[in-house]
Amino acid sequence: KQDVIKKLVKRGLEAKDDPTILLESIEDVVAEGQSVQNGEDAKLEMLFESEEKREEEKQAQTAETAAFDEKVDYKNVKSILNVKKGDALAKKIFPTNGVNGMTVTGKEIPAEKGKDVKFIIGKGVEPAADNPELFVAANDGQVIFRNNKLEVLAIYEIQGDLNMAVGNVDFVGTVIVHGSAGEYKIKAGEDVVIDDVADGTEIIAGGKVTVKGGIVGKKARILAQDDITTKYIRNAYVETEKSIIVNEAAMHSTLIAGQKIVVMGAKGLIVGGTIAAAHEVTAKEIGAKMATPTEISIGETPKMREEMQKATAELKNIEEQLDKTKKGIIFLKDLSTKMGGKLPPDKRDLLAKLTRTQFKLMTEQKKWEEIKNKLESKAKEMQTTKRGKVNCLGMVYTGVKVIVNKAQRTISDELKYCTFVEKNGEVQVLPYSG
């Protein structure tokens, strides 16, 4: 202890009253410094959940589901972090100065200031208009932060096949598969591109769908808002608001297009199934020598009929609800008159509620009337313009049924190099005019 006292005194410490106090305090704290707190470097505070954390949560959820012997959907193995334009992504936290420390002798220890780290703001990210320290999405897409780089990608690329390792895909932008796709789901806000075959794949796209191989399998279901292009289609369901372009053959499938269907590649074959387009179907060969049942329909598509049926049903339902609501309002108003305008509180509340319901129903009625009117106008235009036609550059075999604007004709003798149109309520055969 004496040695300690000597060293402490030598370093400038002293007991204020009695030297024995220092000796008594030897086992206690006699002097205390303050540790330095260096400043923190600048950083980006993410306003979204990281990919790693989401994957951990997904795996934990899968393990928990399996532990309880519940059915695990192994096709939903990954989740893409989709963001919309304007969504807040991150904010910059500036470096701090830190807090100086102090030695036991009272000497100040300067803190190191935090460094201002530069972050790379990549594609699809921009500062918020009203706050340059806040970064937002410049477009819809997938948000990624890697190697200090923040970006929003409008394209989600799969480097290989769409299989169990990838699982189902749900993305707001464009999806590109650099391989084939199996029995998985792809939902894209924009386009879908598959470099090889889509076998049993379900695709819903807000834009175009391009399958460079073919679309095959009874489970294959392709729905798009824009053109669908592929090499061949077999045993599949394919539907679009625009056109379907097939390079080789459409076999035993259902094809529905809001504009036209073209099968004009090396083979240009349509055989089996149902082919329906609003305006035109063109192929090199339709049907087969074995008289395979094949239906080609021009004019009102099944989807248009479905939309018309839905609009009619919605309007009927709204009209029934409106009728009941109006009767309730009339009853309560008559009751109010009989009571000198002094309805009980519960009846007043009911009258107000029915009035709001009436306004809401009338708004819905107007919306569905507009939808129905547009569908009727489109159908009427098809009937009056008589633009619909079926073109075949090669053979049309027996067993083929051609429907143009509701007029029908079943082919009983093979035809070649012809165009089918509707005239005077009948399907007529003209020389090819594709």
What does the angle CA 232 – CA 235 – CA 236 come to, to the nearest 5 degrees? 75
| Same domain as 58, residue 100 | yes
Q: Which residue has the tokens 């959940």?
A: 49
- Give the span between the Cα atoms of 239 and 303, in whole angstroms: 9
Higher pLDDT, 22 or 387: 387
Q: Check residue 313 and give its pLDDT.
A: 94
Q: Check residue 184 and give its pLDDT.
A: 93
Q: Check residue 177 and give its pLDDT.
A: 94
Domain that holds residue 63: 38-153
| Same domain as 233, residue 322 | no
The most confident of 38-42, 110-114, 155-159, by mean pLDDT: 155-159
Q: Check residue 5 and give its pLDDT.
A: 61
Domain end position, chosen among 89, 118, 153: 153
Q: Check residue 176 and give its pLDDT.
A: 94
Out of 78-82, 238-242, 244-248, least confident range: 78-82
- Sign of the alpha-carbon dihedral angle for 57, 62, 63, 67: positive
Which of 46, 44, 41, 4 lies closest to 24 in space, CA to CA?
4
Q: What is the mean pLDDT of residues 222-241?
A: 96
Q: What is the mean pLDDT of residues 356-372?
A: 93
pLDDT band at 74 (very low <50, low <70, confident <90, very high): very low
Interval 375-427: pLDDT, tens: 888 777 666 555 789 999 999 999 999 999 888 999 999 999 999 999 888 99
Interval 252-306: pLDDT, tens: 999 999 899 999 988 899 999 999 998 999 999 999 999 999 999 998 777 777 8
Residue 67 forms part of a structural domain: yes
Residue 394 forms part of a structural domain: no
| Same domain as 192, residue 112 | no
| Same domain as 144, residue 201 | no
Residue 115 forms part of a structural domain: yes
Q: Check residue 154 and give its pLDDT.
A: 87
pLDDT band at 308 (very low <50, low <70, confident <90, very high): confident
| Same domain as 72, residue 24 | no
Q: Check residue 17 and give its pLDDT.
A: 43
Q: Check residue 41 and give its pLDDT.
A: 85
pLDDT band at 178 (very low <50, low <70, confident <90, very high): very high
Residue 279 forms part of a structural domain: no
| Same domain as 135, residue 93 | yes
Number of domains in the chain: 4
pLDDT band at 2 (very low <50, low <70, confident <90, very high): low
| Same domain as 47, residue 26 | no
| Same domain as 59, residue 145 | yes
Q: Which amino acid is at 222?
A: I
Domain end position, chosen among 219, 242, 265: 242
Q: Check residue 24 and give its pLDDT.
A: 61
Q: Check residue 109 and give its pLDDT.
A: 85
Residue 424 forms part of a structural domain: no
pLDDT band at 68 (very low <50, low <70, confident <90, very high): very low
Interval 314-354: pLDDT, tens: 999 999 999 999 999 999 999 988 888 888 999 999 999 99
What's the pTM value of the predicted model, to 2 decimals?
0.68
| Same domain as 125, residue 50 | yes
How many CB atoms sit inside 10 A of residue 299's CB? 21
| Same domain as 142, residue 44 | yes
Beta-sheet pairing, 280-283 with 101-102 = unpaired
| Same domain as 79, residue 145 | yes
Residue 308 forms part of a structural domain: yes
Q: Check residue 310 and give its pLDDT.
A: 92
Domain end position, chosen among 192, 222, 242: 242
Q: What is the mean pLDDT of residues 355-375?
A: 92
Torsion region of 340: left, alpha or beta (phi above 0 gives left; psi -120 to 50 gives alpha): left
Residue 271 forms part of a structural domain: no
- Give the span between the Cα atoms of 146 and 164, in whole angstroms: 25
| Same domain as 94, residue 165 | no
Out of 5-9, 79-83, 204-208, 210-214, least confident range: 5-9
Interval 179-210: pLDDT, tens: 999 999 999 999 999 999 999 999 999 999 99
Residue 224 forms part of a structural domain: yes
